[in-house]
Structure 1
Amino acid sequence: MLFGYARVSSADQNPAHQVDALARAGVGAENIHLDHAGGAKASRPQLDAVLTRLRSGDTLVITRLDRLGRSVLHLITLGAQLRERGIELKVLEQGIDTSTAEGRAMFGMLSVLAELQRELIVANTRDGLAAARARGRKGGRPPKLSDDQIALAQRLYDAGGNTVAQIAAMLNVPRTTVYGHLDTKNTTAQAPAERPTAETPVNTVAEVRLPRTCPTCGYEPSTRAEAAHQRGDLAVAWLHTNVDDQGSVVIQSHCRHCEPEPPAFDVACEVCGDGPILTGIFAEVACRGDLPVAVAQWLVGSGWTVTPSLLCPDNR
């Protein structure tokens, strides 16, 4: 089946040229998705929608490559995801059709340019950092938490009465920020007066009591306070890429002993702030401003609303 995508940079621009071209290519009006969005970081809900609708054997039709990708790297990432899912890409004005050997070769040339662009950016960044260090300047983003906030988060975590998600809510930051500052390897927590209730795992079908033992690495806590921490950690769903099927998601729980290395990306409901954490390739893509297709499909299948707002099943 043919699906079309068109984009104009502002509401004042006329998308008729693109829509007409897609219709002439055989795309039905009900399958044409149109975004009014400009800039690399602008939200593109209709692009997310069409990517969710596409299935193996379908073809995505666009008029020009610059209508689809925010950048060359984003375009290559999308192209790779489409190929992995068995979806073809047809670009009308530039004569690219990935169902043919010639079209795949032309699209492959873009990946070479994208890699060159990435290497140039890395080289320029290293040169800039070296020059800044020579002038006595420190790089990097300013921390989201002050030293006092980090100390408070550590005390709350060590006390055993709050989960990481609760601490993050108190400090108004994502859970991944708190995880990045906590010393979870050398916690000397004391048992709280009352045993806290474990959080419910995201998108579970029925309420279950979380186990003490980590299902991923098998670690079993030795104290009540450590068990309270572990139950809170195991309540968080971590979404990994399936190594056997890049277009699908593997859901795992992790304790402090097997927590994935950075990068991590917190998918948070806009109402309650709860949601899964992405890791690996998923996190890398999300950190660039794009929700991975496989993650979007998993969220929709779990009852989430992805566009225009990210809402969990309880708040949609």
Structure 2
Amino acid sequence: MIVGYARTSTLEQEAGLDAQVRDLNALGCTKLFQEQVSSVATRPALEAALDFVREGDTLVVTKLDRLARSVVHLGKIVETLEAKGVALRIENLGVDTSTPTGKLMLNVLAGVAQFEREMMLERQREGIAAAKSAGRYTGRKPTARAKGDEIAALAAQGLSMAKIAAQLGIGVGSVHRALKPKTAVEA
């Protein structure tokens, strides 16, 4: 069986998820697992896919970065798949671990991908540090804290945290934090 896994990091990336699902269907995937969650968060659909696959199956992803966040993480996924007798295919790289050459290429490409990610993060940190020293970087504008009075007023009207969040366009966790009593340390 050919099993597909699709992922985007955020809910706003609907078109990216749709494109992956379309491509995986075109590749003959008979079972699809998909989710919209950061690669560093818990990924229940990936866990379900890894649990679902059986000996002789192939797990297919459109791109390597949709599957693993690091070489170590990729290694754990590949180890899990190999223990179950499942091959991994990464479509945009033409890598298929059912062959010795495919296994070699996967390791080489994973190392290069992790190197590039680390370099990108280093450049990002350097850019932020330079912007901060020039006084041009203040970070993201706090949206929920700025709406603290509105949150309190809506809560006083008896609205649930979910309804307050939906009405103000913020997360339920932000509403919860805004309504949480301040401790002596926080105040």
TM-score, length basis structure 1: 0.36
Give the whole-Å Cα distance in 2 for the aligned partners of 1:145 and 1:43.
Answer: 28
Match of 1:56 among 54, 57, 63: 54
Q: Against the structure 1 CA distance between its residues 89 and 178, is the aligned structure 2 distance closer, same or farther, given a 3 Å change threshold?
A: same
Q: Which has the higher contact order (CA 8 A, sep 6+)?
A: 2
- Give the partner amino acid of 2:139: G
SS in 1 for 2:122: helix
- Partner of 1:73 in structure 2? 65
Q: Does 1:115 align with 2:114?
A: yes
Q: Against the structure 1 CA distance between its residues 94 and 178, is the aligned structure 2 distance closer, same or farther, given a 3 Å change threshold?
A: closer
SS in 2 for 1:161: coil
Total equivalences in the alignment: 144
- Is residue 76–residue 110 contact of structure 1 (8 Å, CA) maintained in 2? no
- Give the partner amino acid of 2:182: N
Cα deviations by residue, 1:1-24 (Å, 9 ceiling, x for unpaired):
24689xxxxxxxxxxxxxxxxxxx
- Partner of 1:186 in structure 2? 182
Give the whole-Å Cα distance in 2 for the aligned partners of 1:170 and 1:40.
Answer: 22
Q: Does 1:167 align with 2:164?
A: yes
- Is residue 97–residue 103 contact of structure 2 (8 Å, CA) maintained in 1? yes
Q: Against the structure 1 CA distance between its residues 172 and 133, is the aligned structure 2 distance closer, same or farther, given a 3 Å change threshold?
A: closer
| Deviation of the 1:124 alpha carbon | 0.9
Give the whole-Å Cα distance in 1 for the aligned partners of 2:125 and 2:132.
Answer: 11
Cα deviations by residue, 1:38-72 (Å, 9 ceiling, x for unpaired):
x996232334974338732311468xxxxx12xx5
- Give the partner amino acid of 2:65: L
- Partner of 1:43 in structure 2? 17
Give the whole-Å Cα distance in 1 for the aligned partners of 2:182 and 2:175.
Answer: 16
Give the whole-Å Cα distance in 1 for the aligned partners of 2:131 and 2:94.
Answer: 45
SS in 2 for 1:76: coil
- Is residue 4–residue 61 contact of structure 1 (8 Å, CA) maintained in 2? yes
SS in 2 for 1:43: helix
Cα deviations by residue, 1:111-154 (Å, 9 ceiling, x for unpaired):
2222212211221111111111122122433344472x222214
SS in 2 for 1:89: strand
Q: Does 1:152 align with 2:146?
A: no
SS in 1 for 2:128: helix
- Is residue 168–residue 175 contact of structure 1 (8 Å, CA) maintained in 2? yes
Give the whole-Å Cα distance in 1 for the aligned partners of 2:32 and 2:182.
Answer: 44
Give the whole-Å Cα distance in 1 for the aligned partners of 2:98 and 2:129.
Answer: 46
Q: Against the structure 1 CA distance between its residues 92 and 136, is the aligned structure 2 distance closer, same or farther, given a 3 Å change threshold?
A: closer
- Is residue 60–residue 91 contact of structure 2 (8 Å, CA) maintained in 1? yes
